[in-house]
Structure 1
């Protein structure tokens, strides 16, 4: 049995697997950066315009919440296909790593924004009231109280989002997005190379595990508790 395993491993093109892994990391890293840049302020706005919050506004919150829910409830594979014209218009291609990043960002941003909103809701309301009583402005409340207080929770939200992006990046292989998903589809599925399929799944699982462990350690490092 062990000799068969070594034979299979030796027959694999590890350069392709290595390249696909780097492409997946590039997709996850690039899309995570833009997701945090866009999703963090969106989540803060959702929180601030929610009920009993400093900028409470039922109409604005309802519109933003509906938009977030619609994007979150759309299956990512469908979102990939629907966004092809937008992606081509934006960067000139819908394939490869560049073509996968826009739909990844659009798919993950509402997810991350909702996580941010939920994290901010865990803040003791007394902290906001005390800041207001001391005459703090809204930016001072957000950057001086809310975000520092919830930093470990925000790190946990980033970790969850990064793991979600790994699965999204794998799905982008359906439209030729590159990475491990594309490799699994072209060789593992279309050419019936089960060994390639198994290895790509194993690498994806390893990436998820590494992200989770790294994220958990960061949360513990910055946790106030």
Structure 2
């Protein structure tokens, strides 16, 4: 099963290619204040960025049901939330891909996956893709770590979750873990930009 997953991830990587530097520069850049947004959660309620102003920060993850990279990182995302939510950094997952492109990405499928996997964090639908465009997201999964200061959320890290999507046991750098740990300790993020590896977000025409 592990080898099938690795093969699927490799094939997906060959198809989606790599991000250009121009793509990585779109949207928010390090140090930018992120504008508040509000999206529908899988429980039917609206969740906004402002709901987290009492916390230290937020780990925004653009993801999707259909992408093998997102599926490979699912357990790691839940582990990140479990580790940091009590320290003031919550994971917030956002699905921004065109739902008509993949049956797995419909809102109903989002609800089913969140229930089946027992997500402990919000899973939001960005149906208009406005939030993904504002962030400059291009891949799933792609992470944006926001640090809260004086009621504003500032972008401190953007990129990959870690350095090995194929095999968690072979991970050498846990980028998001390192970024959040640095922020909690009052230190600057050592590697604030990494290249996201995953499936391309399918944009609406």
TM-score by length of 2: 0.28
Higher helix share: 1
Higher strand share: 2
Which of 1 and 2 has greater Rg? 1
